[in-house]
Structure 1
Amino acid sequence: MVIKERSPSAPGSCRAGCGACCIAPSITTPMPGHPRGKPAGERCVNLADDLRCRLWGRPERPAFCAGLQPAGEMCGDDRLQAIAWLSALEQATRP
């Protein structure tokens, strides 16, 4: 997931220092460092210390990640709200 600068008035861009979308959701497809996917709540090994995705723009980036677009409802006012919202969505969509 891309972690770009985000301000409340900039829909469609990520909040710097967040990384919630690289932690909260599960990813069911293989990717570097996660050959069987990534469980919900586990930090992706491709999330750098500055909370930026190391796979951004690379073909190895899962389609799920590329399809997840930041939005006010998902991102909330801060990182904790984003993690809470994505975690709730994960729970609600479990098979």
Structure 2
Amino acid sequence: MRLVCSDGTVRSIYSKMKIEVAGKTGTAEENKKRNTHSVFVCYAPYKNPEIALSTVIPYGDASSNASEVARDVIRYKYGELKLEDILKGKANKPEVGSSHD
């Protein structure tokens, strides 16, 4: 799971963080006429876990979308991101492409 965040699907999202994260991306298709659900499960810090997250965005398309939400929660918990930064945020295009794992 560590390799997903350090060298895999969401490396561009997690590579600059001070806290090492281990996680798994995923998408779930409910209906071929709608976007897939975006899923990411993770824990941190990698070597001595204190927090575990499961992030699901219904019809969120790429798993990277859920990964970005989890990243912000972890950054907030460990003081890398302030609540004000999260609240003034806006939706963006995903940083990495969709994964079909």
Common topology (TM > 0.5): no
Interval of TM-score (by shorter of Structure 1 and Structure 2): under 0.3
- Give TM-score scaled by structure 1 length: 0.27
Q: TM-score of the superposition, structure 2-length normalised?
A: 0.26
Which is richer in strand? Answer: 2
> Which has more radius of gyration?
2
